[in-house]
Structure 1
Amino acid sequence: MGGPTGTATDVPTDAAPGDPVQLDALGPRGPFRTRDRLTVADVTGRPVAELSQVPRLFVRRGLSALRAARPADPGALAEVIARAGHAFAHGTVGGLSAPGHQRLVSRVAGVPIAVVRSATARIERAAAEVERTVRGARPTATAGHWRDPLTRGGGAVWARRGDVFAVHAAGNHPGVHSLWLEALMLGYRVAVRPSGREPFTPHRLVTALREAGIGDDRLLLLPTDHHVADDIVRGADLSLVYGGDAVVEKYRAHPNVLTQGPGRSKILLADMGIGEGLVGAGGMASALDTVVSSIQDEAGVACVNATAVLVAGDPAPVAEAIAERLAHLPSLPPEDDKAVLPVCLTADARSLEKYLLGQADGARLHLGGEGIVDELGDGSAVLRPAVIQLDRPDASRLGVELPFPCVWVAPWTPEDGIGPLRNTLVLTVIGRDEQRVGQLVERLVDEPSISNVHVGDHPTHWMAPGVPHDGHLAEFLMRSKAVVR
Structure 2
Amino acid sequence: MPEPVHVDALGADGIYRTRRRMNITRVSGEKAGEISLVSPLYVRRTMTALREAVSPRASDRFAMLEKAAEVYLQGTVGGMDADQYARMVSRTSGVPLRVVRESAAGVAGTLRALRRTAGLAMPVGAVADWDDARTQSGSAVWTRKGDVFAVLASGNTPAVHGLWPEALALGYKVAVRPSNREPFTAFRLVSALREAGFGDDVVALLPTDHQTADVLIAEADYAMVYGGQDVADKYSGSPRVLPQGPGRSKILVTKDVDWRDKVDLIADAVSHLGGTACICTTAVLVEGDPAPLAAALAARLSRIPSLPADDPSAVLTVQPREQAERVDQHLHTVAEGTRPWLGGDSIVDELSAGGAVLRPAVHEVSSSSAPQLDVELPFPCVWVGPWTRQDGITPLKQSLVVTAMTEDRGLIESLLGEPTVTNLYLGDNPTTWTRPGVPHDGYLGEFLMRTKAVIR
TM-score by length of 1: 0.93
- Please say if residues 253 and 259 of structure 2, whose CA atoms lie closer than 8 Å, have aligned partners that are also in contact: no
Deviations 1:248-286 (A, max 9, x none): 1111111110100000000000226x4xx433xxxxx2x
- Show the counterpart of 1:237: 221
- Please say if residues 43 and 216 of structure 2, whose CA atoms lie closer than 8 Å, have aligned partners that are also in contact: yes
- Show the counterpart of 2:259: 278
Deviations 1:73-121 (A, max 9, x none): 1111111111111111111122210000000111111010000000011
The percent identity for this pair of structures is 50
Which secondary structure does the structure 2 equivalent of 1:129 belong to? helix
- Please say if residues 80 and 209 of structure 1, whose CA atoms lie closer than 8 Å, have aligned partners that are also in contact: yes
1:273-422 equivalent positions in 2, closer than 5 A = 274=257, 277-279=258-260, 285=261, 287-422=262-397
1:458 lines up with 2:429 in the alignment: yes
Which secondary structure does the structure 2 equivalent of 1:190 belong to? strand
- Show the counterpart of 2:450: 479
Letter in 2 for 1:334: A
Superposed displacement of residue 305, structure 1: 0.2
Deviations 1:440-483 (A, max 9, x none): 11111111111110000011111000000000000001001111
Deviations 1:366-419 (A, max 9, x none): 001121010002431000000000110135211111111000000001100111
- Please say if residues 454 and 460 of structure 1, whose CA atoms lie closer than 8 Å, have aligned partners that are also in contact: yes
CA distance in 1, matches of 2:401, 2:141: 32
- Please say if residues 106 and 334 of structure 1, whose CA atoms lie closer than 8 Å, have aligned partners that are also in contact: yes
Which secondary structure does the structure 2 equivalent of 1:263 belong to? coil
1:47 lines up with 2:31 in the alignment: yes
1:92 lines up with 2:76 in the alignment: yes
- Show the counterpart of 2:153: 169
- Show the counterpart of 2:94: 110
Which moved further from structure 2: 45-54 or 392-401?
A: 392-401
Which secondary structure does the structure 1 equivalent of 2:45 belong to? helix
Superposed displacement of residue 137, structure 1: 1.7
Superposed displacement of residue 224, structure 1: 0.5
- Show the counterpart of 1:8: none
- Please say if residues 278 and 321 of structure 1, whose CA atoms lie closer than 8 Å, have aligned partners that are also in contact: no
Deviations 1:24-50 (A, max 9, x none): 100001100001001111111111010
1:20 lines up with 2:20 in the alignment: no
Letter in 2 for 1:471: G
CA distance in 2, matches of 1:44, 1:293: 27
Which secondary structure does the structure 1 equivalent of 2:422 belong to? strand
- Please say if residues 109 and 197 of structure 1, whose CA atoms lie closer than 8 Å, have aligned partners that are also in contact: yes
CA distance in 1, matches of 2:374, 2:85: 34
Letter in 2 for 1:101: Y
Letter in 2 for 1:116: V
1:263 lines up with 2:244 in the alignment: no
5+ residue gaps, structure 2, are: none
Which secondary structure does the structure 1 equivalent of 2:322 belong to? helix
Which secondary structure does the structure 2 equivalent of 1:135 belong to? coil
Superposed displacement of residue 289, structure 1: 2.2
- Show the counterpart of 2:166: 182
CA distance in 2, matches of 1:359, 1:129: 41
- Please say if residues 190 and 205 of structure 2, whose CA atoms lie closer than 8 Å, have aligned partners that are also in contact: yes
1:444 lines up with 2:425 in the alignment: no
1:202-241 equivalent positions in 2, closer than 5 A = 202-241=186-225
- Please say if residues 264 and 300 of structure 2, whose CA atoms lie closer than 8 Å, have aligned partners that are also in contact: no
Letter in 2 for 1:48: A
CA distance in 1, matches of 2:100, 2:125: 39
Letter in 2 for 1:106: S
Letter in 1 for 2:330: Y
Which moved further from structure 2: 263-272 or 51-60?
A: 263-272
Runs of 4+ in 1 over 4 A off after TM superposition: none
CA distance in 2, matches of 1:297, 1:73: 38
Deviations 1:307-344 (A, max 9, x none): 00000110001101100100010000000001000000
Which secondary structure does the structure 2 equivalent of 1:145 belong to? coil
Which moved further from structure 2: 372-381 or 253-262?
A: 372-381
Deviations 1:292-316 (A, max 9, x none): 1110111111000000000011000
- Please say if residues 402 and 431 of structure 2, whose CA atoms lie closer than 8 Å, have aligned partners that are also in contact: yes
Which secondary structure does the structure 1 equivalent of 2:273 belong to? helix
Matched residue count: 456
- Show the counterpart of 1:3: none
Letter in 2 for 1:309: V
**For the aligned residues, what is the CA RMSD?**
1.0
